[in-house]
A and B are shown apart, each in its own frame.
Chain A
Amino acid sequence: MRLINLNAGRFTPLLKILPFVILALIYWIAADARHALNPEDKLLPTFEAIGDAIKIMVMEPDELTGEPILYTDTVASLSRIAQGLGIATIIGLIFGIVQGTLPLFRALLSPFSAAISLIPPIAILPILLIIFGLDESAKVALIVIGVAPFLVRDTQQYSMELSEELLIKVQTLGASTWQIILRVVLPHVMPRLLDALRLSLGAAWLFLITAEAIASSEGLGYRIFLMRRYMEMDVILPYVAWITLLAFVMDWSLAVIIRKVFPWYRKEKK
């Protein structure tokens, strides 16, 4: 039988878990081997050591804040990324639709936003730090600047995908420009924008962790870079896993929202 016709059938869930199990196994063997040579090894802490570290960062209140550090860091990071992505989405929606639907504004803004999107966001982080200082807004601004131009350009593209026939048709139904945007362009663009947002989650986390590593006093990225100085791999590794899990949950929730709120979207795509 050809490989393209082979299906895992009821073993599919098993296959999905397999790579994760293998990775954990390899880690366990490697950590074990290193500890056999040097019981003080810090590079690959054993699962027990990691478990102890997790217990401390989840249970024990920090001297400064009175809350466990994982909690403080998670709240700080999530609030920054939520604000950054929220503002970026609103910018993407407004400018994308305006540039995609109204030729006058497209002529005015499209080359400009294309140019803006080519600026490497990290390159202007120093500028943001000068302007906003070590305030929260510098970190939020970096995420916005990193993600918004991408969302604007995508949304513009989606708005322009609407067929000419459809736009003529809605005009013969007596629609004004505003009504066309509200009842035709917006519903067309929304699920696609959320899809684009899913794709930009990786970039958003990248910018967040960069900003936190450089100028912050709490946050997931800050903690990882702080712990690097003490080679505390037993904290860094669970933090990385935790960030990955958070990113996964965000991606998955967006997928669920798209499916529930825009049931016609997947059907249309088929």
Chain B
Amino acid sequence: MSYLQIRNVWKTYEDNVILEKLNFTIEKGEFCTLIGPSGCGKSTFLRMLLGQDTPSRGTILLEDQPLSSEPGSDRGVVFQKYTLFPHLKALENVMLGLEMEHSPLLGKVFGSTRKRIKEEAMVMLKAVGLEQSAHKYPSELSGGMQQRLSIAQALVKKPKILLLDEPFGALDPGSRADMHVLVRGLWQTYGLTVFMVTHDVKEAFELGTRLLVFDKVRNDPHAPNAYGATLVNDIKLDRNKRKYKGETYDTINETPVA
């Protein structure tokens, strides 16, 4: 069976239909990008994948199991901003997820476990190019560096799927291009399954192996909320992206970990 299955998913708020008849599957290792006009339910869909919201109808299965109705460590996420812990240094931000896994009571570990976790987090920081900033607070990092850190934070938990919600929307074009190279590189080295929402069409085409488009197909001018958006386009992009763009990643990732 497919890795992530979206089966006849609808989302309605009272009389407003936001999303209707969503039916598609995503395979392990795909890099899906989702675009659509604003208000087409992209964010609503991502909220459902995250567990912040549940479908009004239909089910979403991850590895044949229904998604839990609250966020969990099987789904990692990177938002546009506000997702770093301001009181923790960069390295500690990455360590946090691992620490909580090992210490249910204190959420903090000591001694040899701490050392091991620290090393693991450091590897992740290196992978996103932040080893120099390990001991800085998030407020001392630039916007691009903060997003790198946020990615490292999510990846260290080895999520089954990585959800990106317009992660580069607040960045300047230069750091955005750097981030594209980084994310593609990480996707390749770690064999990630990525689902990214963006409103940058170019970005969606460049990064993804598959492009999904949400839009309304029916529209009643007298009842604008009667019909929701659905999947109108499902484009397979270059299947060999992993291999043939390989040289770009190697420059940022000398030591693949996975």
A residues touching B (Cβ–Cβ < 8 Å)?
163, 165-166, 168-176, 178-179, 182-184, 187-188, 262-265, 267-268, 270
Contact status of A171 and B72, CB under 8 A, knowing A182-B107, A264-B137: yes
A176 to B104, CA, bound (A): 8
Of B52, B107, B154, which is within 8 A of A183 by CB?
B107
| CB <8 Å contact, B101 and A174 | yes
Minimum CB–CB distance for A251 against chain B, Å: 23
Q: Is B217 among interface residues, defined by CB-CB distance under 8 A?
A: no
Q: In whole Å, how far is B74's beta carbon from the nearest beta carbon of chain A?
A: 9
Distance, CA A264 to CA B86, complexed state (A): 7
Which of the residues B104, B107, B137, B159 comes within 8 Å of A172, measured between beta carbons? B159
B257 at interface (Cβ–Cβ under 8 A)? no
Residues B72 and A174 in contact, CB atoms below 8 Å apart: yes
**B-side contacts of A175, CB under 8 Å:** 100, 107
Bound-state Cα–Cα, A270 to B137, Å: 13
Contacts of B153 in A (CB 8 A): 169, 173
Q: Is B139 an interface residue (CB 8 A)?
A: yes
Q: How large is the interface on B (under 10, 10 to 19, 20 to 34, 35 or more residues)?
A: 35 or more
* Chain B 144-159 interface 0/1 with A at a Cβ cutoff of 8 Å (1 = within): 0000001001100101
Cβ-neighbour of B79 out of A169, A187, A262 (below 8 A): A169
B122 sits at the interface (CB 8 A): no
Known: A163-B82, A179-B107, A183-B96. A168 touches B71 (CB 8 A): yes
Q: Measured between C-beta atoms, what is the minimum distance from A269 to chain B in Å?
A: 9
- When distances are taken between beta carbons in the complex, the residues of chain B under 8 Å from A264 are 86-87, 137, 139
Contacts of B105 in A (CB 8 A): 178
Separation of A183 and B106 alpha carbons in the complex (Å):
8
The CA of A172 and the CA of B96, in the complex, are separated in Å by 11
Which chain A residue has the least Cβ–Cβ distance from B94? A173
Instruction: Tell me if A179 and B71 are in contact (CB < 8 A).
Output: no
B139:A267 contact, CB within 8 angstroms: yes
Counted as pairs of residues, one from A and one from B, with CB atoms less than 8 Å apart, the total is 86
Q: Return the contact of A166 from the options B83, B101, B108 (Cβ within 8 A).
A: B83
Known: A264-B139, A270-B139. A172 touches B85 (CB 8 A): no
Q: Which residues of A contact B212 (CB under 8 A)?
A: none
Specify which of A173, A268, A270 is in contact with B100 (CB 8 Å cutoff): A173
Rounded to whole Å, the gap between the CB of A117 and the closest CB of chain B is 28
27 contacts between A and B (CB under 8 A): A163-B82, A165-B79, A165-B82, A166-B82, A168-B77, A168-B79, A169-B154, A170-B96, A172-B157, A173-B96, A173-B100, A173-B157, A174-B157, A176-B100, A178-B105, A182-B106, A183-B96, A183-B100, A263-B137, A264-B86, A264-B137, A264-B139, A265-B87, A267-B137, A267-B140, A268-B87, A268-B139
Q: List, in ascending order, chain A residues with CB within 8 A of B96's CB.
A: 170, 173, 183
B73 at the interface (CB under 8 A from A): yes
User: In this assembly, does B41 line the interface, its C-beta being within 8 Å of a C-beta of chain A?
Assistant: no
Q: Chain B contacts of A183 at CB under 8 A? A: 85, 96, 99-100, 107-108
- With a CB–CB cut-off of 8 A, which chain A residues contact B83? 165-166, 169
A172 touches B154 (CB 8 A): yes
From A269, which residue of chain B is reached at the shortest CB distance? B139
Q: How far is the CB of A141 from chain B (nearest CB, A)?
A: 34
Interface 1/0 per residue, B77-115 and A, CB below 8 Å:
101011111110000000011011100111110000000
Q: In the complex, which residues of chain B have a beta carbon less than 8 angstroms from the beta carbon of A184?
A: 85
How close is B179's CB to chain A, nearest CB, in angstroms? 18
Q: Determine whether the beta carbon of A268 is less than 8 Å from that of B86.
A: yes
B178 CB-CB contact with A under 8 Å: no
Q: Whole-angstrom distance between the alpha carbons of A233 and B85 in the complex?
A: 54
- Among candidates A166, A168, A174, A270, residue contacting B85 with C-beta atoms closer than 8 Å: A166
